[in-house]
Each structure stands twice: as C-alpha cells, then as structure tokens.
C-alpha cells in the first residue's frame, strides 16, 4: 500500500514538473518573439528621402556601365546626370522640413509601438508618412522621366536598356532591408514548406 502511494506521488511530481516546464518554455518563447519584434523595430532606420525615391547618380559609374568611350556622347551623359542631380538637390533642400517631420513622426510611432508591444499601428503610420511624401515623390518621378527621355533619345537601344536595368538596381537599394531575424524566419518557412511537399510526394507512392 505504501509503495502504491509512493508511485502515485512520483507520478504527480513528474506531471507537475512537466506542466511547469512547458509553461515556462511557452512564456520564454513569447518573450523572445516580443523581443525579436522590438529589435526589428529598433534596427529599421527611418529614411524619408529613400521613401521619396530620391536618388543621385555618379556619372563616371554610368559611363562605365554603359561602356561609353567617345565624345560627344560622354559629355551628354555628364551634362544630363549633373542637371538631374542639381534638380534633386533642389528638391531635397526645399523639402527639408517635410523630411524632418516624417522622420520625427515615424520614429515616435515606432517607439510607441515598441513600448506598448503593439505593432498593429505601424502600417497605418507608414501610409500616413507616404501621404506626406507624395508631392515630393511626384517631383522626383518627373526628374526621373526627364532624364530617361534624354537618354532614350541620345543612347543606342542597347545602351538605353542597360541604363534602365542599372537605374532599377539603384532604386532597389533604397528599399529597407529586412532585419536578420525576419530573413531567418523566411528561410525557415521556406524549408518547412519544402519538407512538407517532400512528405506528400513520398506518401503518393
């Protein structure tokens, strides 16, 4: 009888320990996820000029990319790039306050989200910031189209296609990079999906 009681007590202790361990592990996981979100928010830098798609070009890099070696085409590229960069500088100067307001607004919203551990408002704040930057983005787009029109007229078809690819690659650099933790999660999800597909394939045989 005494041994039965001891066995029951042992089972109770093991069960209780298992439940307690599971709860602690769940709490730790939730805490890690929240910390991960907070670190992602901290890593993401606010750059309103990138959001407005502002970009300036190095004419030497463009000439090298397009393999332009002779005049007057080389001078044309230098002149067009310099004119574009000057116009972009004017946009940056005249809209300095707007950039500052957007940076302050987004930083405040992200800090609030991190403090409250509620990231549901981030998307709304991004939409609001994009609205503030919309007039600037239109002016930047106008300069982009003006430069492209000049190059389409003056460059060969092959050179113009190369330019458009180069321009697109430079614009992509303005996009914010996903935090490292998000990249790891994305790879894990991809690997998990691949394993599931492999499992389904084996089950079909």
Q: What DSSP string runs through 169-195?
A: HHHHTTSPPPPHHHHHHHHHHHHHHHH
Residues 169-177, mean pLDDT to the nearest whole number: 88
Indicate if the pLDDT at residue 133 is higher than 80: yes
Q: What is the pLDDT of residue 194?
A: 57
Q: What is the pLDDT of residue 1?
A: 56
Residue 42: inside a domain: no
Q: What is the pLDDT of residue 61?
A: 96
Confidence of residue 45 (pLDDT cuts 50, 70, 90): confident
Residue 133: inside a domain: yes
The domain of 119 spans 50-174
Confidence of residue 190 (pLDDT cuts 50, 70, 90): low
Residue 150: inside a domain: yes
- Confirm whether pTM is higher than 0.95: no
Residue 160: inside a domain: yes
Q: How far apart are CA 198 and CA 192, in angstroms?
A: 10
**Greater pLDDT, 205 or 134:** 134
Q: How far apart are CA 136 and CA 54, in angstroms?
A: 9
Name which of 131, 113, 109 is nearest 51 in CA terms.
131
DSSP-derived secondary structure for 128-165: HHHHHHHHHHHHHHHHHHHHHHHHHHHS-HHHHHHHHH
Q: How far apart are CA 136 and CA 172, in angstroms?
A: 18
Residue 196: inside a domain: no
Residue 155: inside a domain: yes
Query: In terms of C-beta density within 10 A (0-12 exposed, 13-18 middle, 19 or more buried), how is residue 46 classed?
Result: middle
Confidence of residue 16 (pLDDT cuts 50, 70, 90): very low
Tokens 């066995």: give the residue: 7
Confidence of residue 144 (pLDDT cuts 50, 70, 90): very high
- For the chain, the domain total comes to 1
């Amino acid at each position: 009888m005494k041994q039965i009681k001891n066995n029951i007590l042992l089972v109770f202790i093991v069960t209780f320990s298992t439940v307690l361990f599971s709860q602690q592990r769940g709490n730790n996981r939730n805490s890690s996820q929240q910390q991960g979100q907070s670190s992602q928010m901290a890593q993401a830098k606010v750059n309103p000029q990138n959001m407005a798609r502002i970009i300036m070009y190095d004419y030497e890099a463009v000439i090298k990319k397009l393999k332009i070696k002779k005049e007057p085409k080389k001078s044309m590229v230098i002149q067009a790039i310099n004119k574009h960069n000057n116009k972009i500088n004017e946009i940056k100067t005249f809209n300095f306050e707007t950039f500052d307001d957007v940076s302050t607004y987004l930083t405040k919203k992200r800090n609030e989200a991190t403090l409250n551990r509620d990231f549901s408002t981030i998307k709304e704040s991004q939409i609001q910031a994009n609205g503030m930057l919309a007039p600037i983005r239109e002016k930047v787009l106008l300069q982009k189209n003006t430069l492209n029109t000049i190059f389409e007229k003056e460059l060969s078809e092959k050179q113009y296609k190369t330019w458009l690819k180069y321009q697109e690659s430079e614009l992509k650099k303005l996009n914010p990079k996903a935090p490292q933790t998000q990249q790891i999660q994305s790879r894990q999800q991809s690997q998990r999906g691949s394993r599931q597909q492999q499992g389904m394939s084996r089950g079909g045989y």
